[in-house]
Structure 1
Amino acid sequence: MTDDVRRIGDNVRAARRARGMSLEVAAGLCGRTKGWLSRVENGRLRLERRSDIAALAQALEVSADALLGMPAPEIRPDRREFSLVPMQNVLLDAALDDPPDVAARPVAFLRSELERVDQALMKADYATVVRLLPDVIGELCVHAATGAEPDRAGALKLLIRACGSDGTCTLRHLGETNLAWISGERAREAAELLGDPVWTGAAAFGRAHARSSANRPRALMTSARAADTVEPHVGDDRFSREVYGMLRLSSALACQVVNDHDGARQHAAEAARIAEPLGDAPDAWELFGPANVGVWRTSLAVEAEEPGEALTHADAVEPRALASHNRRAALRIERARAHAMLGHNAEAVRELRHAERLSPQQVHNHPLIRDLIADLLTRAPGRDLRGLAWRMNLA
């Protein structure tokens, strides 16, 4: 077993010592006891809530990413399957006022290519996503910069989807949070040029989730403001309702990160109200619908340290209503976290193995799950768990 298995606790200790803080002072700054922080640092207590990680990061004056940590990209197993260099190049070098010098295929064709990207992402086929997406983004930048209407507006909307939805989701699941943030910024820039409040809200959602919520990123913490801005423009069309609903779910998470449980419930209830008449559609934006709201409510209950409530929400979700392997995996991940809180170790391992089969990179690069597996290895070692840990470079 490598030293990486206690990464979060080790990182907390290293950050505290670098600041020259005692256990007592650091614990007091985040509203916890000296004994609690000592158990975290020694690996006897797993950090299960983003709100605790956020409070520690603030107290220690570091980013939450620094506490969560990730293996270096060159030693991640998935890097044998594909390269992110083309994606990095297009996000860093292509701009709406300075597009790449390439021949752009018609917008209609790029729309069909983006549909292929969407389908690949739903299957957690990241190799296909990162192969197709860079060219699509670069050529859409050309149309947005040089095209006439309506191609220009169409290209900007597709860019918001490509960078704000597909790009941020893919890069976050691959553990590339810095690139995910840049992708979200590209979507925001496209939305500013488009000038449509609903599409601006769609771009805001992507930026809100480009970084871990434990960082309390401003884009996430202002989700309620973004939702309020979109609300007057919600009409009968499904897309505007989907954007508004997903922003309300983001607002719920923002509340949960600062322990505002009542606010989280109110925002989630509003999202559920919007989702109910829409039903679950495989082509819904961000899969907004009752089933996905149920996944979010499961996660919110885990963050509130209500594992029983989380499993109640999870049991009400019909997985077949979730067209995406990513969202089905997310449901399994949250079920695993809830079972672990209840001490149901075998059930937690079973859920994690299901999640891995659905979306391996999403599981392998999830910092809280990496720490959960490290903890389970000390409490419930077994062949299935050891195999999962080995595939995650934890054993």
Structure 2
Amino acid sequence: MDIPTDLSTGERIRLLRESRGMSRPVLAGLCGRGPDWLKKIESGDRPLRSHGLLMRLAAALQVSDLSIITGGSSQVTQPVPLGRLNHPAMPGIWSAVMGRSLSANRPEPMAIASLQGRVDQTWKLWHTSKHNRTEVGALLPDLIRDAEAAARTLEGDERRAALVTLADVYRLTGQATAYVAPAELAWVVADRALAAAQQADQPAAIAAAAWNMGNILRETDYPEEALRVVMDAAALIRPHLDGAPNDWRGIYGALQLHAAVTCARDGREGDAWRYWDAGDQVAKSLPSAYVHPSTVFGRANVDFHAISVATDLRASGKALALADDLDPDIMPSTERRARLWVEVARGHLQRGDCTAALHVMEIAHKIGEETVAYTPSARTVAAELWRTAPRALRPAADQLAEKVGIRAAV
């Protein structure tokens, strides 16, 4: 349909909804929200910053090009995918998660220390491989089955340790399948991680599982619930921090950074920096070289999150200034280092500098191909560059889009 160019995003959504004969409750329900939320979006009383919600609205309205909702014209479209991204590791992981055995029979006892060692090594692989989803995804089915068997068959203190390991495995599964898992599997994995940690009655494991649950809630556009979960977990572990192992304080700091990003994405600047400051204080209380094994909380990751918070608050000048003072090579995780460059690219795009954004995205892709290909924020940057890059940069932007898989989505 012919939409006037001067309409806002909210006005475009209302026009498209009414042209399709959809009521507010119906469209809002398809996005997992209530009609009051949609009314505020359409009236302009509430900004719509979430790319995930924009995609949901576009899919529900049967719009194939996101720019029809957001406005702007280009010879290149920003396609709306019909479903989630696909990854070849998913069938095996799905089978292990959804087809778990109810039998307690096992031919030989499970050595829980050995199993935990395998999990720890797989976490290291997640943070160091350029193809982390593929390599970790290949190992997860056996890890899931073995951890489930250990939790069923062991007893006493060994069973508690097995439950902590099981929670760890499901947290790793959540990380490795983020944005590619069907919604039902994502929720099952997050819930099983939290349930196993609670059965073990181990505060650090519960806090880590809550951090994972918070990721699922935030990425499915439930920021209030995400903030509540991570703050409840922080309150649970806080009384145990005096004299606790460094990893307990590490997960407590990771919860603070999680809250900082959640608030930043919701435009709550004061709260975002308050939570970041809390995480910064935790990092200062730990050895300078400390890195949490799964969340990679530590000095470098705190500094990384400052850039993320500033970018999410659209303070691009501050984000880029912070990035200028940060040595990317001190980031202990390849995955996080790639995401750091994506955040820098977002900052450049916010300032309208396509040349710098494209250069930085090429660096990010070289560091972590699968991180860029399977992270929505990175794909959004690649799509925006593909859509808006000036003529001289279009060949390079087109090549990046092809590597990331944007072109294949058309």
- Per the alignment, residue 272 of structure 1 pairs with 280
- 2-side partners of 1:198 and 1:15: how far apart? 48
- Per the alignment, residue 242 of structure 1 pairs with 250
Deviation (angstroms), 1:194: 0.6
- Say if 1:173 and 1:361, in contact at 8 Å, map to a contact too: no
- Say if 1:120 and 1:126, in contact at 8 Å, map to a contact too: no
- Per the alignment, residue 313 of structure 1 pairs with 322
Residue 250 to residue 175, structure 1, CA distance change in 2 (3 Å): same
Q: Is 1:231–2:242 an aligned residue pair?
A: no
| Correspondence list, 1:117-266, <5 A | 117-124=122-129, 125-164=132-171, 166-172=172-178, 174=180, 178-213=184-219, 215-216=221-222, 219-222=225-228, 223-236=230-243, 237-266=245-274
Residue 56 to residue 139, structure 1, CA distance change in 2 (3 Å): closer
- Per the alignment, residue 111 of structure 1 pairs with 116
Q: Is 1:360–2:365 an aligned residue pair?
A: no
Deviation (angstroms), 1:173: 5.4
C-alpha offsets along residues 323-375 of structure 1, whole Å, 9 cap, x if unaligned?
A: 21110011011000000001111111111111112222221223333333222
- 1-side partners of 2:60 and 2:227: how far apart? 18
Mean Cα deviation higher: 223-232 or 346-355: 223-232
Identity rate of aligned residues, in percent? Answer: 22
- Tell me which amino acid in the other structure corresponds to 1:83: A
- Say if 1:213 and 1:257, in contact at 8 Å, map to a contact too: no
- 2-side partners of 1:377 and 1:190: how far apart? 44
- Say if 1:174 and 1:361, in contact at 8 Å, map to a contact too: no
| Correspondence list, 1:322-361, <5 A | 322-361=331-370
5+ long unaligned stretches in structure 2? 1-8, 28-35, 67-78
Residue 374 to residue 274, structure 1, CA distance change in 2 (3 Å): same
- 1:382 aligns to what SS in structure 2? helix
- Tell me which amino acid in the other structure corresponds to 2:381: L
Max Rg structure? 2
- Per the alignment, residue 5 of structure 1 pairs with none
Deviation (angstroms), 1:136: 1.3
Deviation (angstroms), 1:229: 2.0
Residue 27 to residue 115, structure 1, CA distance change in 2 (3 Å): closer
Q: C-alpha root-mean-square deviation of aligned residues, in Å?
A: 3.5
Deviation (angstroms), 1:148: 2.1
- 1-side partners of 2:203 and 2:15: how far apart? 44
- 1-side partners of 2:195 and 2:232: how far apart? 19
Q: Is 1:86–2:73 an aligned residue pair?
A: no
Residue 131 to residue 197, structure 1, CA distance change in 2 (3 Å): same
5+ long unaligned stretches in structure 1? 1-8, 38-46
- 1:30 aligns to what SS in structure 2? helix
- Per the alignment, residue 293 of structure 1 pairs with 302
- 1-side partners of 2:187 and 2:37: how far apart? 29
* Structure with more relative contact order (C-alpha pairs < 8 Å, separation 6 or more): 1
- 2-side partners of 1:89 and 1:187: how far apart? 17
TM-score, normalised on structure 2?
0.77
Mean Cα deviation higher: 241-250 or 105-114: 105-114
- Per the alignment, residue 405 of structure 2 pairs with 393
- Tell me which amino acid in the other structure corresponds to 2:278: E
Deviation (angstroms), 1:162: 1.4
Q: Is 1:30–2:41 an aligned residue pair?
A: yes
TM-score, normalised on structure 1?
0.79
Residue 193 to residue 56, structure 1, CA distance change in 2 (3 Å): same
- 2-side partners of 1:320 and 1:372: how far apart? 22
- 2-side partners of 1:218 and 1:147: how far apart? 38
- Tell me which amino acid in the other structure corresponds to 2:259: S
- 1:209 aligns to what SS in structure 2? helix
